[in-house]
Copies of this chain bind each other. A is one copy, B any other.
Amino acid sequence: MAIRTTVWGENVHERKNKVVADIYPTGMHTCIADALNTGTGISATTVTLQDPEHGLTVEKLAQTDVLIWWGHAAHGDVDDRIVERVCDAVWGGMGIIFLHSAHFAKPFKRLMGAPCNLTWREAGERERLWVTSRNHPIAAGLPDHFELETEEMYGEPFGVPEPLETVFISWFQGGEVFRSGLTYKRGAGSVFYFRPGHETYPSYHDANVQRVIRNGVQWVYNPALRIANPNDAPNTAVERALEKIEERGPRLHHAGEAGFR
């Protein structure tokens, strides 16, 4: 069965900025989804910030194996309840990919637990991405490096936790470097951050960028059943202990009582 992928687009600059609209006439999210739908094994749809519940209803998330997130101008407009819902879905096993300026998206910051900041410069300079983990599934089919002739610069220090693996590091013409491909696990869900994709440049039309996103979808995808309540902290009663024990000493909780939160 195809991996049900939902591409979440902020969809602001595509409608307000002529440069962006010319590059992505149907929206960045649509460009990304189209690229994913070209091959087999992935079935991508799109939702946007402007949809009711930002398109991320309980039902939609339940039918989403992998969520891709692109946002920039309107991070603050994302409803905190939707952010919690997305995090819960990830913790339950949904895969998620954050692209470019989503480093400051609310769900990314929540999942990282870190400032997620960086340095930046918008000058259309050359970016060259180097593969740092050879034969990593996310780098499948790529050469050792590839270039994007015009991109926004993001520079270190990148305020994220040490990843499971660093998959790409970028070289920038102006003298900076950046960890451009990073993997994490949060709860039962896998997370991939991928740097390229400033909206005034045609990065999501690039074949290598598309390939990385497609590989990323397959890497974060987990076929296991979603965990129904990923925040559950079940009490194991003394009489059901796996090894026979006898209760000793005082206790706070009555039998069957839920824990504190």
Write out, one digit per residue, whether chain A residues 170-198 have a CB within 8 A of any chain B CB (1) or not (0). Answer: 11111111010000111111000000000
Write out, one digit per residue, whether chain A residues 236-261 have a CB within 8 A of any chain B CB (1) or not (0). Answer: 11100111011111111100000111
Complex Cα distance A41/B172, Å? 39
Q: Are B175 and A169 in contact (CB under 8 A)?
A: no
Q: Are B119 and A234 in contact (CB under 8 A)?
A: yes
Known A111-B113, A247-B123; judge A157-B132 contact (CB<8 A). Answer: yes
Complex Cα distance A231/B188, Å? 28
Q: Are A174 and B241 in contact (CB under 8 A)?
A: yes
Complex Cα distance A50/B60, Å? 43
Q: What chain B residues lie within 8 Å of A73 (beta carbons)?
A: 260
Q: Are A113 and B112 in contact (CB under 8 A)?
A: yes
Known A171-B175, A241-B121; judge A115-B249 contact (CB<8 A). Answer: no
- Does chain B have a CB within 8 A of A14? no
Of A1-9, A31-39, A62-70, A160-168, which binds chain B?
A160-168
Q: Are A245 and B164 in contact (CB under 8 A)?
A: no
Write out, one digit per residue, whether chain A residues 43-64 have a CB within 8 A of any chain B CB (1) or not (0). Answer: 0000000000000000000000
18 sample A-B contacts, Cβ–Cβ < 8 Å, listed by A number: A17-B252, A91-B159, A104-B260, A119-B236, A123-B245, A124-B248, A132-B157, A132-B158, A133-B157, A133-B185, A134-B188, A135-B189, A144-B156, A159-B187, A174-B243, A175-B241, A177-B177, A200-B249
